[in-house]
Structure 1
């Protein structure tokens, strides 16, 4: 029998020992095979490239091109259900993180005062022993662990370690979306975030969610939006206090006063019920009198939206065949964010579009019951409590995994002072950041492309998916020896657990061992995208496909909402009554600032302003004229509590008169590509939170501004050249100065 290309790829993927069945999602089979580096050298033939499937840091499926031991190119995995071949700019930047010149190469121990930046390289065993000895001295019961949001087996391993330390694991995100997750749980009765089926909707009413600039998966939402705009074209109505990227792509951007989104949703519900435009089971529980306080004419002035517009939106929703109402980001980031989110998503109950095409499609639980997505985030209130525990001495040691608390929390908290009171700080990171520089020991991590892992998507496609992540090349510093180099965060924890005599089920294992155990359980289902007769073959199938999924495993059970009546709407509270402007932080290409270390993303211009490598202040053009503020003028932004930053003005007619918008990511104090660039807006943000959920009210800031005597030229592509003048007949008119030679 001739050896076909398909059979050859199966062989080099390790699949020659057993039969494996691949089930595709409408993609030709020949597009689905990637090499697995399992038991293979990094290159089969010098000069010939190899492609390996893995996962990106945001959960997107990737295919990475390797040539001669170097990662060269990142593409989307065409078969992975979340992004189906597309990928985000942050995944391209993984290459720069992998080969970054400032990556840590060995464990470090502090040599000097905290924050001095003086370190000594030590071996892994030495680092583990120092940690163990210090914890034995300080006591395990007073130690806490703070990590970035974790999914898949990473969460299980680090949670087990934190439990052994005697404390609850804290997961931190500077843009807290607890209100969104809490509201969806109330509405759908499920712990899983549903799929927003934008692609099959004919009308989307969006309250503040900048889904085209999403923290979850820009590629996923981009695909959905592309389907939505295809024939027949859907209509997008966007309600927000700022002109975001998603707002600019809407059919209509509707300005609203900050924090009034729940009132607007309630007013729309009032119209739908009072005019008997809906007949769902939930609508029958609501009396129009219950919503009389939200009659459009009563809340129009408060919200900034005319009563006619509210009535018009309600009528459009009632006429729509597949309406979808979503919300998030700014709408959830006030002191009343939880009530806003609940009211917004309750409109889907009124319109009876949950688990229906074009609506909110419920996602099933993971087939591995102890494997979860990274949606769980500790509330901001819990993080504030941690700082209080440190100050009081209740906590005396701290583990930090890839979160920069000192940079991304308000300077009013004086976190630096709190950290100085700890007996031990252990940071797990690939770089020295604004928090790691105060650590006693830094444990260097592998990057995404050097690590093993698995993941359950935060927002699934409506059926079961488990992604698998493999190292697509050797660790960059593997040649430094066994006691140096970098490691997976999970393997660090498992090795440390063994030294500390912790008895959890992961102690002493490798990450690959743990993932193989998961693969064995999945193989036993004998269903889904991969089926095989033996574990070795199944394992190679998982790695070459980038994961496992079962398109037939959906949620068919009836909806069990926890909402019995229309939610009570609370009024927003803001940080300073004496300040004139709302301050709205927003993400750009560097996300929450964690990607600012990559010059590719620093230089990737903001899609609306075309600005790069700078922190700017979006201010209303007419407001700027009143204050004699011009583009590039340096403004001082004062939060009223003694904290100030300076940033360059960017007047624009798209910004409301009472709003200032400033991107996050600038003003970091470490790193060649981060220090000295821009200002840190986190430092002047308030510490308010939603009393119902403890979520950070990061959009509830109010500030004042003052023009300084300085001005800079803002780095941007927009407006760099003046248009060449033309006469009425479209001929170019060449203009020379009066003193030029003729």
Structure 2
């Protein structure tokens, strides 16, 4: 390849290699170097087609950010099914239901198939030639855009997709990459870093004798549920560990717990300080604890904590005793802890227990240092979106590119994102499906599905050193007019910086060059071709890093008492995260719409969960249509009577209520994001998603709740199965 105007350091930067990794890469014996060898484009994979016989190819699941390795079963040129990749330390040969639905995302009939342009009469199909002309006119070498005049808005992005994106912005002298996560964990990460010195430690679940989880649904919608489920299976083997789950609304993890306690939302930090109060009565725990921490927890005796949290004083004593008697333990926090105006203090109080219990180095460790920090995922926040919204509203943003996120749908109504976005002169969306945000853009570009495209991915949670995951096409693309995200960016970069990028025919050649150039970092002695072929065959390359040491800080905390409920808004509102729907991006998949929600078994709908005793007091029956009113807005949904919820709390699942996301999502359910009140964490500025209070009003309407659970002893009125209550059954005789 000829890059005569590009020195070695710049060449490595183009490929996403810098720092210590660049030093190693510069010393390696690789044949693909600047000015030495031509890079050949990937054209077609060699086909091994035997009629009726399936072949497996490795790739990476793109359904969430966990970075699970997968194996795609391909038969006669078509991908049929996905399984876990046993080579992956994250998936370990397993896969979740959301990952399985990746096949349906690929074959979905509502995929965008051609570029669209916003003309005078609305969106019209255009050719790629026209689309590239528009891109070159607005973003090409003659563009006057500079600095924060251009913004790239994404969900988390990692690997060489991140490298290309940031290299693209650099050609505009811009670093304006905005990462937005509608389910941001920024508050919890900040609190954990303040206490332990790392945003996301490694949890050695299988080493713990007891896990105390404050609302962390690590088996369902957590940071890496497939890996955590594997760890949890080991945790449950002899000697069997104990799981205690404390949360206002039961999650999948709560349903698997040995003990589950419903707590008043926002009081989790006070309970943590109450448990610390009991533990610090023992010298083995109080030794070395700063006086200001001792002074703080002395105000939280069992009775005081019980009055505030709704957790009985005997339960507080029992939890503390369990922690005392079962070492090592692990204490973790989740969204219900973080989602309040004092969420940082809440989460910090929970992490304080790990320091008091001495869990560092036992059940908690720091993740390995990454050899390629420029490939690590950018983690999103609400605050980043709010700052972008402010700049757009002020007319400072002249061009906005959007990839992998749908803020018009997920932004709460008090953040007028759609209105602010309309003030941006040029907006481009990179999508596989037309959604609410793409529908307001000027140019919409159809992407390949994750099963048709190349890429590299790096997960946030790396349990075994570092894995750089490879994504490769499992079949030829279904729609000729769709293109890869990397190929589109590369085309623009070739125009803006030809001396650095013109030599790469496509994104495949760029990826291969980058990976082969990084070969010395992985301490591989194979030839370049063998290294690359092994990477594709295995679906990943591994770097054997070692866990790092966590810090132990015991800062003074202030823990405000939560505000009491009012007569106007007498219920806490807890938006729940479904493991399959997440923030709503997967609602277009009928497999997931048809999959029963894990705790209620409801399908194809939105609903509001209410405790049976509360429903009885309000004369509410299952299926009654209720109006859920906050200070910000209201939605209507069917009542579902759910015992796994704190009695003063109501909950609704996120993900439904789309107005534009294909035939299977549009018009299904309602969107709870739109009734969230403008309450923010005082430390991080993040949206406090669990701080909204609501009122319920009966509308007088009623509809059947469609669910999988229900009477199973009758068919057409005839009794098929006789049932007895547990106290009546003579189990010894039955068995």
> What is aligned with 1:24?
none
**Number of the residue aligned with 1:22:** none
- 1:402 matched to 2:404? The reply is yes
Q: Judging changes above 3 Å, is the alpha-carbon distance between structure 1 residues 575 and 438 closer, same or farther for their aligned structure 2 residues?
A: farther
Q: Which residue of 1 aligns with 2:558?
A: 568
Cα 1:582–1:498 shift into 2, 3 Å: same
Instruction: Write the mapping of 1:167-566 to structure 2, written as runs, cut at 5 A.
Output: 167-190=175-198, 193-278=200-285, 283=289, 288-356=294-362, 359-374=363-378, 376-377=379-380, 379-477=381-479, 480=480, 485-501=481-497, 510-525=506-521, 527=523, 531-551=524-544, 553-555=545-547, 558-561=549-552, 563-566=553-556
After TM superposition, the structure 1 stretch with the greater mean CA deviation from structure 2, 721-730 or 485-494, is 721-730
Give CA-to-partner distance per residue, 1:630-682, whole Å, 9 cap, x none: 111111111223x2211111012322221111011111012100012111111
**Any gaps of 5 or more consecutive residues in structure 2?**
1-41, 725-735
Q: Equivalent residue of 2:467, what SS?
A: strand
Gaps of 5+ in 1: 1-36, 731-742
Q: Does 1:609 align with 2:613?
A: no
Residues 1:626 and 1:470: Cα distance change in structure 2 (over 3 Å): same
Q: Give the SS at the match of 1:294.
A: coil
Matched with 1:736 is none
Deviation (angstroms), 1:532: 3.8
CA distance in 2, matches of 1:570, 1:514: 53
Q: 1:272 & 1:699 partners in 2: Cα distance?
A: 29
- Residue aligning to 2:572: 582
Q: CA deviation at 1:225?
A: 1.4
Contact 2:180 2:384 in 1 (8 A): no
Instruction: Determine whether 1:41 maps to 2:31.
Output: no
Give the secondary-structure state (helix, strand or coil) at the position aligned to 1:626.
helix
Contact preservation (8 Å) 2:635, 2:672: yes
SS of equivalent to 2:445: strand
SS at match of 1:149: coil
Deviation at 1:295, TM superposition (A): 2.9
| Alpha-carbon offset, residue 472 of structure 1 | 1.6
Q: Deviations over 1:33-92 (max 9, x none)?
A: xxxx99633434333221001110131110000111110111101121001011011111
The whole-number CA distance in structure 1 between the counterparts of 2:436 and 2:428 is 14
The answer to whether the Cα contact below 8 Å between 2:178 and 2:388 also exists between their aligned partners in 1 is no
SS at match of 1:83: coil
| Kept in 1: contact 2:427–2:442 (CA 8 A) | yes
Of the three residues 707, 710, 715, the one matched with 2:698 is 707
Alpha-carbon distance in 2 for matches of 1:75, 1:689: 40
Deviates more, 1:212-221 or 1:447-456: 212-221
Alignment of 1:664 with 2:654, yes or no, is: yes
Q: Note if contact 1:666-1:678 (Cα within 8 Å) is conserved in structure 2.
A: yes
Q: Is the 8 A contact 1:285 1:565 kept in 2?
A: no
Tell me the alpha carbon deviations over residues 483-536 of structure 1, each in whole angstroms, 9 at most, x when there is no partner.
Answer: xx2222222222222324488779967432343244335431454xxx342110
Residue 260 of structure 2 aligns to a residue in which SS?
strand
Distance change in 2, residues 1:717/1:728 (3 Å): closer
- Measured after TM superposition, the shift of residue 346 of structure 1 is 2.1
Check the 8 A contact 1:639/1:685 in 2, yes or no. yes
What SS is found at the alignment partner of 1:524? helix
SS of equivalent residue, structure 1 residue 181: helix
Question: CA, structure 1 residues 631+108, in 2 after alignment: closer, same or farther (shift >3 Å)?
Answer: same
1:67 aligns with 2:75: yes
Pick aligned residue for 1:637 from 628, 632, 652: 628
Alpha-carbon distance in 2 for matches of 1:280, 1:519: 50
Structure 1 pair 363/312, CA: closer, same or farther in 2 (3 Å)? same
**1:73 and 1:79 mapped to 2: Cα distance?**
18
CA distance in 1, matches of 2:124, 2:446: 13
Write the deviation string for residues 445-468 of structure 1: whole angstroms up to 9, x where unpaired.
Answer: 111111212222211114222222
Q: Give the TM-score normalised by the residue count of structure 2.
A: 0.86
Which stretch shifts more, 41-50 or 298-307?
41-50
CA contact (8 A) 1:573 1:700 kept: no
- Count how many residue pairs are aligned between Structure 1 and Structure 2: 671
Cα contact 2:156–2:377 (8 A) shared by 1:
no
Matched, 1:680 2:686: no
CA distance in 2, matches of 1:337, 1:47: 55
2-side partners of 1:41 and 1:329: how far apart? Answer: 46
Counterparts of 1:48 and 1:725 in 2: how far apart (Å)?
47
C-alpha contact (below 8 Å) 1:65/1:74 kept by paired residues: yes
Residues 336 and 290 (structure 1 numbering): CA distance in 2 closer, same or farther, change over 3 Å? closer
Give, in whole Å, the separation in 1 of the partners of 2:246 and 2:648: 16
Q: Are residues 627 and 290 of structure 1, via their aligned partners in 2, closer, same or farther at CA, if it must alter by over 3 Å?
A: closer
Cα separation, partners in 2 of 1:520 and 1:138, compared to 1, 3 Å? closer
Secondary structure in structure 2 of the residue aligned to 1:370: helix
Rounded Cα–Cα distance in structure 1 between residues aligned with 2:477 and 2:543: 32
Equivalent-residue separation in structure 2 for 1:290 and 1:455 (angstroms) = 43
CA–CA distance in structure 2, aligned partners of residues 729 and 296 of structure 1: 41
Matching of residue 146 in structure 1 with residue 153 in structure 2 = yes
Q: Secondary structure at the match of 2:318?
A: helix
Matched, 1:160 2:163: no
Call closer, same or farther: CA 1:575–1:385 in 2, change over 3 Å.
farther
TM-superposed CA distance for 1:549, in Å, is 2.0
Residue deviations 1:194-229, cap 9 Å, x none?
222112211000001111112433211211111111
Q: Report if the CA contact (8 A) 1:689-1:697 is conserved.
A: yes
3-state SS of paired residue (2:444)? strand
**Structure 2: how far apart are the matches of 1:80 and 1:40?**
23
2:639 alignment counterpart: 649
Selected match of 2:102 from 81, 94, 97: 94
